[in-house]
A and B are shown apart, each in its own frame.
Chain A
Amino acid sequence: MRNMSIFLLSAAAIVLAGMTPAGAAWQPQKPIEFVATAGPGGGTDNLARAVQNIITKYKLTDQPIVVVNKGGGSGAEGYVYGKASAGDPHKVIFGTSNAWQQPLVSKVAFNYIDLTPIAAMAQDEFLLWVKQDSPYKTAGDYLKAAAANEFKMGGAQSKDTDEVLTRMIEKVGHVKLTYIPFKSGAEAAVQLAGGHIDSHVNNPSESLGQWRGGTQRPLCAFSPKRLPQGTKITATEGWSDVPTCVEQGLDIAQYEQPRTVWLPGKVTPEQAAFYVDLMKKVQATPEWKDYIEKTSQVDTFLTGDALDKFIKQDLEHLKQVASEQGWLIK
């Protein structure tokens, strides 16, 4: 009986809340679910948990936050889940550019337009890595050697960011590379340390420990300018000592992977605005700066039209690479 009255009361409250004019900003009414479209321990998962910790620490919302991992199908599981939760403003999906990339190359049951974009919060850089004791000192040496014998390039997943970059290197550098897909960048890093592949294009955080440990080293960064000065990684070098690929004659000026945040489709603009604001608050904390520095990412914040424009541009570029490779799904 008591339960019933609570039911009714809250039902009434909801109805009333629905009727209040849009003046009062929207606030979440129940626990918020952060859906990481990656397995535990991956970059996307780390981001979701870092944001969760910051929000909890500064009490940026009254509702508790739960992180769930839905990394099945290279993240498709999480996006499909987001699509199925249309209209539910208590689910926040954390992903990468694969939100628009995956539907392009495989028959997954979602597209990025099924979701409401909130922000792109950080950009992960890419570097070209080789084994520590390999003879190549510069990207030029690497390309010369790669032209003579077909190199094995490792990376995370198939037809995803790593393979797209590999195909770009092939085209720009006039070489042929054999791309071997692994489950994650960390796995590719270990394969390189063991000498089973010749190179990979990991993000800084994926190979940081390996660089420190002297099993592999970066040749160049796919970035318009050198990475920001940070603490030294090895005894003599830090990220800013890594030359850009353009400097070394590998003409790919920029290649980055955005970390994206989405709501399910069919949410109201007020609800989306709440999360844009929330993420902005997160970004202003020292903990966030700390997270960005530790994972060697670039701190950016794209939202609204800027984000739309970014997605459109990236999509155009991907379409081009994918059609050249014959990846586009029929």
Chain B
Amino acid sequence: MISRRALELATAVLTGSFGVAVVVSSLDNGIGWSSAGVESGTFPFLTGVIVVLGSLYNLARGALPGLTLASVPIAITPTELRRLAGLFVPAAIFVAAMPLIGIYLASAVYIFVVLAIPKHQSPMRSSMMAAATALGLYVVFERMFQVSLPHGALAAAFGF
């Protein structure tokens, strides 16, 4: 279980560190006024500072108990977490596998796995849908509009 408070804190830390990264890297570009007008780091620097300050505020607000958040103390229940993982983890694996086996094979396997393994569809129908997805992608993108999608390192090794 992840509490609302933990989630608030994590998000504030996330936005805050993005802000810090922006501030630090915009210092490289120079801030303030020069002969070439407003220097290129100025606006990113200011927005970075604002993001950091805002995140600190959100962090403090999230850390202090008993504020308005009290009405919804639980953010993600264990069941919800399981469902989230059930969607996101296969998707992430699909994306990770793409450079290796290419989008066509990856998407077919992905569709088959998420449909057949939790028994949402019969293996037969799952594999049909998987094949149809890959074929559809190929025909529309590669053939009709000549947009090249990643074929993967494996296909490249075979000379595609």
Which of B135-160 touch A at CB < 8 Å? 146, 148, 158-160
Of all chain A residues, the one with the shortest Cβ separation from B159 is A14
Tell me the smallest distance from the CB of B26 to a CB of chain A, in Å: 14
Whether B146 and A11, one on each chain, are in contact in the complex, defined by CB atoms closer than 8 angstroms, is no
Contact of A11 among B36, B148, B159 (CB under 8 A): B159
Whether A31 and B159, one on each chain, are in contact in the complex, defined by CB atoms closer than 8 angstroms, is no
A256 beta carbon closer than 8 Å to chain B: no
Whether A10 and B160, one on each chain, are in contact in the complex, defined by CB atoms closer than 8 angstroms, is yes
Which of A15-36 touch B at CB < 8 Å? 30-31, 33
| Complex CA distance for A64 and B145, rounded to whole angstroms | 12
By a CB distance below 8 angstroms, the chain B residues around A7 are: 158, 160
Whether B159 and A10, one on each chain, are in contact in the complex, defined by CB atoms closer than 8 angstroms, is yes
Whether B148 and A33, one on each chain, are in contact in the complex, defined by CB atoms closer than 8 angstroms, is yes
Instruction: How many A-B residue pairs have C-beta atoms within 8 angstroms? Tell me.
Output: 18
Whether A31 and B148, one on each chain, are in contact in the complex, defined by CB atoms closer than 8 angstroms, is yes
Chain B binding surface, main DSSP class: loop
Whether A13 and B159, one on each chain, are in contact in the complex, defined by CB atoms closer than 8 angstroms, is yes
By a CB distance below 8 angstroms, the chain A residues around B36 are: 158
Tell me the smallest distance from the CB of B39 to a CB of chain A, in Å: 12
A108 beta carbon closer than 8 Å to chain B: no
| Complex CA distance for A282 and B73, rounded to whole angstroms | 70
Whether B146 and A64, one on each chain, are in contact in the complex, defined by CB atoms closer than 8 angstroms, is yes
Tell me the smallest distance from the CB of A48 to a CB of chain B, in Å: 15
| Complex CA distance for A14 and B159, rounded to whole angstroms | 7
Tell me the smallest distance from the CB of A32 to a CB of chain B, in Å: 11
| Complex CA distance for A8 and B148, rounded to whole angstroms | 22
Whether B148 and A66, one on each chain, are in contact in the complex, defined by CB atoms closer than 8 angstroms, is yes
| Complex CA distance for A37 and B36, rounded to whole angstroms | 26
| Complex CA distance for A11 and B146, rounded to whole angstroms | 23
| Complex CA distance for A7 and B157, rounded to whole angstroms | 10
A146-160 interface code vs B (CB 8 A; 1 in, 0 out): 000000000000100
Tell me the smallest distance from the CB of B46 to a CB of chain A, in Å: 21
Tell me the smallest distance from the CB of A108 to a CB of chain B, in Å: 14
Of all chain B residues, the one with the shortest Cβ separation from A4 is B158
Whether B158 and A31, one on each chain, are in contact in the complex, defined by CB atoms closer than 8 angstroms, is no
| Complex CA distance for A7 and B160, rounded to whole angstroms | 8
Which of A103-123 touch B at CB < 8 Å? none
Tell me the smallest distance from the CB of B119 to a CB of chain A, in Å: 28
By a CB distance below 8 angstroms, the chain A residues around B146 are: 31, 64, 66
By a CB distance below 8 angstroms, the chain B residues around A30 are: 160
By a CB distance below 8 angstroms, the chain A residues around B148 are: 31, 33, 66
Tell me the smallest distance from the CB of B150 to a CB of chain A, in Å: 13
12 additional contacts (CB under 8 A) given A10-B158, A13-B159, A33-B148: A7-B160, A8-B158, A10-B159, A10-B160, A11-B159, A14-B159, A30-B160, A31-B148, A64-B146, A66-B146, A66-B148, A158-B36
Chain B residues with a Cβ under 8 A of chain A: 36, 146, 148, 158-160
Chain A residues with a Cβ under 8 A of chain B: 7-8, 10-11, 13-14, 30-31, 33, 64, 66, 158
The 7 A-B residue pairs with the shortest CB-CB distance in the complex, in nearest-first order: A14-B159, A7-B158, A66-B146, A11-B158, A10-B159, A11-B159, A10-B158
